[in-house]
Amino acid sequence: MSQLDIVGKSFPQIAAREKATGETKFVTDLVLPRMLCGQVLRSPYPHAKIISIDTAKAAALPGVKAVVTFQDTPKIKFGPRSEDWTIFASDKTRFHGDEVAAVAAVDADIAEQALELIRVEYKELPYIISPLDAMKQGAPLVHEDKPGNIGAEFKVEAGDVDRAMDDSYVVYEDHFYTNQVYQAYMEPMSALADVDLSGRVSIWTGTQIPNMMRMTYAKALGMSPDSLRIVVPEYGGAFGGKMENNIHLIAAVLAQKSGRPVKLVNTRHDDFLAGNPRVPMHFDIKIGATQDGILTAKDVKVVGAAGARLVYSQVIVATACYRVDSLYRLKNVRAKGYTVYTNSVPTACFRGFGNSQSTFVLESALDELAIQLKIDPAELRIKNGMGSNETSVHGWKIGSSGLRECVTKASKAANWSQKKNNKTPFKGIGLACCNHVSGNRPFAREFDGGSGIVRVGKDGRITVFHGESDMGQGQNTTFAQIVAERLGVTMDMVNVAQVDTDISPFGLGSFATRGTLMGGNGVLAAAKDAYDQMADIAADMLNTKAADVACRKAMFFSKSSSETKISFQDIASEATIRHHGAPIVGTGFYKPPTELPDPDTKKGNISPAYPFGCQIAEVEVDPDTGQVSVTNFVAAHDVGRAINPMATVGQIQGGIAQGLGWTLMENMAYEDGKMINADFVDYIVPSCFDIPDIKAILVEPIEPNGPYGAKGIGEPALNPTMAAITNAIYDATGVRIKELPVNPQKLLAQIQKLGKHVKE
Amino acid sequence: MKHVRIHLVVNGEDYSLFITPNRVLLDVLREDLELTGTKEGCGLGKCGACTVLLDGRPVHACLTLALQADGCQITTIEGIGEKEVHPLQEAFIDKGAIQCGFCTPGMINTAKALLDANANPSEDEIKQAIAGNLCRCTGYNKIVDAIHSCGCQSEKEKGEVR
């Protein structure tokens, strides 16, 4: 590859100046003339029959412009994966926070008063919160047509697990639990909806999947997809949480009924109650190895709580069943997954998508094997790790793998061997690895690639259109760098358009760590098309052939005689004149070399590239309280090539901070079927004091399928964090953490039981 | 509810407002003055996204009644840099301390108050100051780094960005 001018360099986000000065208009900042304030009435019970709803008094309150319930909706069942949703509860509510009614009023005070005037008569029903209980015979049914509360089942098997397990020198078997945690993006979910005279609905919202959301919502609203438009302004974080959610549809229904624009912003409390937090999971794992530490077989059972409706939990449980198998050279694997309805908030995507849950379990189990075998945990990972150009048990074709390099570099930077061998009481060091995907072929059935449009105006101004989503991670900047590099221009010349489904390509969105690779390759293809059109004109003006033309720093020149140069802007102007006003429009797409997994065996290469990583945590455990603090952190990640190293390091540090919060601090707690800590007073996320210095190491094996060699980083940044910390806790105390989050009292009790409690 | 008249000086400009006494400063800034740079993240004073400077002190605008600010000088993110971008804003931009940016206005206001009181804060003093400002994107490393680089020019090299 020739010398790179833009890719591989640390640029601030292209929107950073606006964000730093308060100029950015986030979704919650948007205002339209005559806009109303929407608010939602939610179920106070985890499970209750709706006897009656009386909205008359609310509707009569001056300033109230619309009151809506299930009766005001098209009454269509819908859902992104499983059609078990309605916009409002119809005959019964299924979780504390379920949508019952909504109002639109001229201001927030009146909307709030109106909610209080809605009379709902409920009859409470028996409820179920634990997925294990929900599977038992006689458990209350969340959906009457779903016996046993089973939302979905998943099965995968390869090799001969029983035989390999029997032949193993060591076998470790245990139960683990990963809890429900909240994404806690700083801007709550929100939507602004407007209806034009033809009945066409526009929704401005922060979403990771504008185009797929549009298809789901069109069905819910009983419209054709072309009657619905989704626009994605800047928005304040998502981490998997901002996909389909009823509040967007409620805003649309309120706008339809009132005939005025309606903005609906979740209170933080509502966002906790009815967002889409992480799928809690129970794991039974059994794993074996030879005396030399070669993994022989893995057998897991996963039970995940879907909450009251399926969002993406069934796909997430499936992911937890098998994605992590491609981290190591496993040959014999079996998994069974159950996604179970419960009377709790519907769970869905949160950075890691099931792979973070299963990575915690596998990487804990691997440390147990290492202990039994008396092998260094780092050595065990190196022995078994997937290498470049290998194919995993599920048919995943690993192009590049920097896994071993991640382990060795992280170990060196953390001074692993020395610290591991020199024990200090209540201080420990732990290591964990991870794999992930850069896009996931089966997530959307029709295709999985990316696309882009690159427009060059007469003035040389470049605008990139894509259909993915910058949720704050800096994707627009990455795309601008890729396009600037390909066109041979400077960063200040490239703008990235806000995603608008009326204009942008049909991108699948930002999930599955797919943005950089899929979207990046899409805009790269579009940039190439635009460049080729401009190079033809440049060749003509430079009296040479297009193949002899190059552009660097926004100047076109002939490679054979670089004396004459013509600016990019002059070529753009000439192109527009020759084309009677038409701008240069480059379009392109990327079709990844992936395949849909076989429905029975699940075998098939689901992603064009697989990122890997290794994280090492150091902890101190307070012998008097059981409190754990993380004192140092090293993370080495195989990112293919970092398009923007500063942004990549930012992803790694942010992912680890979230993983640390999950491991040590965060838990959505229920009492009497109700979430009892649904705000930032009682649900504590990490502050700056909780996060240590995080040293990020970028391992760049240059991925053949990536744009300029890049893979994704979003989710792998968090996947190994939990086990790295809990493995360090084991090193410090001898206690194996099998349940997240770490509970200091329980940890202390276990330490005391082991007799390691030494008071100074 | 009876309306009351209050006077605010926001980013150096005088405002005379006729409001109901139950309104919080956050809503008056965002709705009446259309200064939407100040954000609401929780409404309970627990996330710091709404931090503004009231006579130079950082306060949660979501917990401050507009009435309590009567006669006070208020600085919001829009007034931090005035015509030029403030060095703190520049540092946040250059050091990668901004991802989604929703916490940024509150974070910068808190940091501004710190630096005004203590031109050369230690890392611990920086953390003390911003401990009430939540950021869910960055893991704080780059934010602390950005603030530190403004306070202590000689140690500017500290922040390693590859």
Instruction: Give the model's confidence band at B151: pLDDT under 50 very low, under 70 low, under 90 confident, else very high.
Output: confident
Structure token pair of residue B25 = 């400063």
Please tell me the predicted confidence (pLDDT) of residue A561.
84
Map out the domains of chain B as residue ranges. Answer: 4-80, 87-158
CB proximity under 8 Å: B 65-94 to A: 76-78, 80-81, 85, 89-90, 92-94
Residue type, A498: Q
Contacting residues of A for B35, CB less than 8 Å apart = 22
- Is B21 an interface residue toward A (CB < 8 Å)? no
Q: Do B100 and A25 touch (CB under 8 A)?
A: no
- Is B38 an interface residue toward A (CB < 8 Å)? yes
Residue type, B108: I
Answer whether A503's CB lies under 8 Å from A428's CB: no
Task: Note the pLDDT tens digit of each residue in A567-594.
Answer: 999 999 999 999 999 999 999 999 999 9
Contacting residues of A for B84, CB less than 8 Å apart = none
Taking CA atoms, A118 is separated from A41, A109, A266, A371, in Å, by 8, 15, 19, 61
Q: Which SS3 state, helix, strand or coil, does residue A446 take?
A: coil
Contacting residues of A for B44, CB less than 8 Å apart = 268, 679-681
Task: Note the pLDDT tens digit of each residue in A384-417.
Answer: 999 999 999 999 999 999 999 999 999 999 999 9
In angstroms, rounded to a whole number, what is the distance separating the alpha carbons of residues A85 and A338? 20
Structure token pair of residue B3 = 């309306």
Would you tell me how many other CB atoms lie within 10 Å of the CB of residue A372?
14
Tell me A516's DSSP state: I
Residue type, B157: E
In angstroms, rounded to a whole number, what is the distance separating the alpha carbons of residues A313 and A345? 12
Cβ-nearest to B78 among A15, A22, A472: A22
Answer whether A464's CB lies under 8 Å from A416's CB: no
Would you tell me how many other CB atoms lie within 10 Å of the CB of residue B153?
9
Please tell me the predicted confidence (pLDDT) of residue A621.
98
Q: Do A21 and B161 touch (CB under 8 A)?
A: no
Instruction: Give the model's confidence band at B158: pLDDT under 50 very low, under 70 low, under 90 confident, else very high.
Output: very low
Contacting residues of B for A188, CB less than 8 Å apart = 41
Q: Which residue of A has its CA nearest to B137?
A: A654
Q: Which SS3 state, helix, strand or coil, does residue A299 take?
A: strand
User: Does B159 score more than 50 pLDDT?
Assistant: no
Q: Do A689 and B127 touch (CB under 8 A)?
A: yes
CA atoms within 13 A on the CB side of B32: 18
Question: The tokens 């995907």 sit on which residue?
Answer: A437
Percentage of residues in chain A having pLDDT higher than 70: 99
Listed in sequence order, the residues at least 6 apart from A138 whose beta carbon sits closer than 8 Å to its beta carbon are none
Give the CATH fold of the A31-125+196-237+242-262 domain. Answer: Aldehyde Oxidoreductase; domain 3 (3.90.1170)
In angstroms, rounded to a whole number, what is the distance separating the alpha carbons of residues A63 and B76? 31
Mean of the per-residue pLDDT values for chain A? Answer: 97
Would you tell me how many other CB atoms lie within 10 Å of the CB of residue A227?
16
Closest CA to A314 of A595, A88, A83, A601: A83
Q: Do B99 and A472 touch (CB under 8 A)?
A: yes
Listed in sequence order, the residues at least 6 apart from B156 whose beta carbon sits closer than 8 Å to its beta carbon are B149
Answer whether A604's CB lies under 8 Å from A523's CB: no
More confident residue, A281 or B157: A281
Answer whether A151's CB lies under 8 Å from A341's CB: yes
- Is B5 an interface residue toward A (CB < 8 Å)? no
- Is B112 an interface residue toward A (CB < 8 Å)? no
Q: Which CATH architecture has domain B4-80?
A: Roll (3.10)
Tell me A87's DSSP state: S
CA atoms within 13 A on the CB side of A581: 0
Run of H or E including A697: strand A694-699
User: Does A70 score more than 90 pLDDT?
Assistant: yes
Q: Do B137 and A654 touch (CB under 8 A)?
A: yes
Give the CATH fold of the B87-158 domain. Answer: DNA polymerase; domain 1 (1.10.150)
Q: Which CATH architecture has domain A281-441+599-754?
A: 2-Layer Sandwich (3.30)
In angstroms, rounded to a whole number, what is the distance separating the alpha carbons of residues A615 and A721? 7
- Is B11 an interface residue toward A (CB < 8 Å)? no
Determine the average pLDDT of the residues in A604-633.
98
Closest CA to A93 of A270, A243, A274, A251: A274
CATH number belonging to domain A16-23+449-590: 3.30.365.10
**Burial of residue B104, with CB atoms counted within 10 A of its CB: 0-12 exposed, 13-18 middle, 19 or more buried:** buried
Answer whether A403's CB lies under 8 Å from A391's CB: no
Please tell me the predicted confidence (pLDDT) of residue A757.
47
Answer whether A373's CB lies under 8 Å from A295's CB: no
Name the least confident of B6-20, B34-48, B75-89. Answer: B75-89
Please tell me the predicted confidence (pLDDT) of residue B143.
98
Under 8 Å CB pairs connecting chains A and B tally to 180
Please report the DSSP string for chain B in residue order.
---EEEEEEETTEEEEEEE-TT-BHHHIIIIIS--TTS--S-SSSSS-TTEEEETTEEEETTTSBGGGGTT-EEE-HHHHSTTSPPHHHHHHHHTT--SS-SSHHHHHHHHHHHHHH-SS--HHHHHHHHTTS--SSS-SHHHHHHHHHHH-GGGGGGS---
Biggest alpha carbon–alpha carbon distance for chain A: 85
Contacting residues of A for B47, CB less than 8 Å apart = 186, 268, 680
Instruction: Give the model's confidence band at A760: pLDDT under 50 very low, under 70 low, under 90 confident, else very high.
Output: very low
Identical fold for domains A16-23+449-590 and A31-125+196-237+242-262, yes or no, is: no
Q: Which residue of B has its CA nearest to A188?
A: B41
Closest CA to A395 of A439, A330, A309: A330
Mutate to test the interface with A, among B23, B128, B141, B150 (most CBs of A within 10 A): B141
Q: Which SS3 state, helix, strand or coil, does residue A551 take?
A: strand
Answer whether A431's CB lies under 8 Å from A381's CB: yes
CB proximity under 8 Å: B 135-154 to A: 135-144
CA distance B7 to chain A (A): 23
Structure token pair of residue B16 = 């005379």
Determine the average pLDDT of the residues in A163-188.
98
Q: Do B85 and A657 touch (CB under 8 A)?
A: no
Please tell me the predicted confidence (pLDDT) of residue B157.
44
Listed in sequence order, the residues at least 6 apart from A340 whose beta carbon sits closer than 8 Å to its beta carbon are A131, A134, A135, A149, A150, A151, A303, A304, A305, A306
Contacting residues of A for B132, CB less than 8 Å apart = 687
Q: Do B136 and A694 touch (CB under 8 A)?
A: no
Determine the average pLDDT of the residues in A632-656.
98
Answer whether A728's CB lies under 8 Å from A619's CB: yes
Cβ-nearest to A21 among B89, B99, B132: B89
Whole-angstrom Cα Rg for chain A? 27
Question: The tokens 């680890």 sit on which residue?
Answer: A656
Contacting residues of B for A268, CB less than 8 Å apart = 41-44, 47
Map out the domains of chain A as residue ranges. Answer: 16-23+449-590, 31-125+196-237+242-262, 281-441+599-754
Q: Which residue of A has its CA nearest to B136?
A: A185
Q: Do A474 and B99 touch (CB under 8 A)?
A: yes
Residue A493 CA, distance from chain mean position: 30
Contacting residues of B for A29, CB less than 8 Å apart = 30, 36
In angstroms, rounded to a whole number, what is the distance separating the alpha carbons of residues A577 and A583? 9
Closest CA to A518 of A565, A469, A583: A469
Determine the average pLDDT of the residues in A638-666.
98
Cβ-nearest to A10 among B46, B105, B161: B161
Q: Do A24 and B49 touch (CB under 8 A)?
A: no
Tell me A311's DSSP state: S
User: Does A523 score more than 80 pLDDT?
Assistant: yes
- pTM of whole model > 0.80? yes
CA atoms within 13 A on the CB side of A656: 35
φ and ψ of A366, to 5 deg = -65, -40
Contacting residues of B for A236, CB less than 8 Å apart = 39, 100-102
In angstroms, rounded to a whole number, what is the distance separating the alpha carbons of residues A72 and A592? 43
Taking CA atoms, A33 is separated from A194, A256, A258, A383, B126, in Å, by 11, 16, 14, 64, 42
Residue type, B12: G
Closest CA to A96 of A265, A274, A250, A269: A274
Mutate to test the interface with B, among A11, A13, A21, A634 (most CBs of B within 10 A): A21
In angstroms, rounded to a whole number, what is the distance separating the alpha carbons of residues A526 and A643? 18
